Amino acid sequence: MVIDNQPLHSFTFMIHHHPSSMVVDVDSVVGCGVLVFGGSLGSHGSSCSNKGLFLPLKKNSIGGEWEWLSSSSWLPSPLRGAWTTSYFHNTYAQIFLSGGFDSVHPHNEILKLSLSQSNPTPTPTPTSISTITTTSWELVGKLPRQFSCHTHCVLGNTLCTFGGWDELECMDEIYATPLSAHSLQHGSDNCNDHDHDHDHDHDHIHNNHCKFSMPSLESSSILLGHLRDSRKNAGIAILSKDNEAYHSATNVLICGGWNGKQTLRTTEIVRLFETDGVDYACYCDVDEGPMMNTPRECSAICVLSNGDVYCMGGYNEDDCLLSTSEVLRKGSQTWEEGPNLPFSPRECYRCC
């Protein structure tokens, strides 16, 4: 992507869609678009952007032209290496962004941007920027430290982060950070753009079993536990949500990344627990996941509607960009070779 006549990379993006058009295959997307925020500018990433862009997508076509979002919806400061997730409702979407790096120092803010579609119709139609109404970014929480290159998901009224980079070392911490009241207007049943309600057959070792009471927004984040490997630029996939007698557990797959010494093949299954009547993460368990065939950092991961996990691109232990992919079938303990990407090898991108 080129912005202001300079290459843009390490940006963050989200898919905005009409709920009735939510599909896995982008070629079939109706009434939706791509939102892009921030990123590194120039071939060496010496500066960052805070601008926001929108690309309408149309059925069986690439879409229209990139359009600028209103400057009131741009990021408060230029950022790269932040992470986003989203919550979709019938007529609006909320985007949650955490951390990031502004070319000078990392950040710890958790920001929320609300979007709504003007005059939504029962039958989705191609979206344009004129039909999207946005607010300004709102501060809804703070991470316990300033870091970037992490992953996160929103569970209940809590944002859970995994690993990252604090400009000194790779991190293994799993933090739960409370969001301000009413950050999620209608709960979080549809939170996270890759959240699918599927079973996934993995055994779990209860080695990170930490409980806490819900603090106020002013309190610091809570350390839920630790990943088995320190890692930055890992991938994340929401596998399933299990409802049991006295609690529910959201199963999260963390894949690859870099531990400060090498690019990783390892994966981890993190189970985030909520107890009955409590709308936040209470504790977690961490277990080893299936070993990937190729070490990958900055890869793109998505979960299909059938529960299969695809991990694509990134770069390997020799810093070579990859055009390969691998697939973890639902219920399997072994990654399979997937199809090669139909475009040039790449890293630091996202897929859905």
| Model confidence pLDDT, tens digit, residues 95-127 | 899 999 988 888 999 999 887 765 554 444 444
When comparing pLDDT for 300 and 61, which is higher? 300
Whole-number pLDDT of residue 3? 42
Q: Report the alpha-carbon distance of residue 157 to residue 90 in Å, rounded.
A: 19
Type of residue numbered 156? G
When comparing pLDDT for 3 and 52, which is higher? 52
Position 55 pLDDT exceeds 80:
no
Tokens, residue 216? 């106020």
Mean pLDDT of the chain: 75
Whole-number pLDDT of residue 254? 97
Type of residue numbered 55? L
Q: Report the alpha-carbon distance of residue 109 to residue 77 in Å, rounded.
A: 11
Whole-number pLDDT of residue 252? 95
Whole-number pLDDT of residue 282? 74
Q: Which residues are registered as beta bridge partners of 237?
A: 253
**Residue 179, phi then psi, degrees to nearest 5:** -95, 155
Position 324 pLDDT exceeds 70:
yes
Q: Report the alpha-carbon distance of residue 35 to residue 110 in Å, rounded.
A: 18
Residues 250/196, Cβ–Cβ less than 8 Å: no
Q: How far is CA 326 from CA 94, 143, 217, 300, 348, in A?
A: 31, 32, 40, 11, 17
**Mean pLDDT score, 336-341:** 92
Whole-number pLDDT of residue 244? 67
pLDDT tens-digit series, residues 242-267: 776 556 788 999 999 999 999 999 99
- Which range, 36-40, 72-76, 90-94, 188-192, is most confident? 72-76
Position 217 pLDDT exceeds 60:
no
Whole-number pLDDT of residue 85? 84
Whole-number pLDDT of residue 119? 54
The residues, ordered by sequence, that sit 6+ positions from 278 with a Cβ below 8 Å of its Cβ are 156, 214
Residue 337's pLDDT band (cuts 50, 70, 90): very high
Q: Which residues are registered as beta bridge partners of 52?
A: 37
Query: Which of 49-63, 111-125, 196-210, 261-275 comes out lowest in average pLDDT?
Result: 196-210
Residue 70's pLDDT band (cuts 50, 70, 90): confident
**Mean pLDDT score, 60-72:** 74
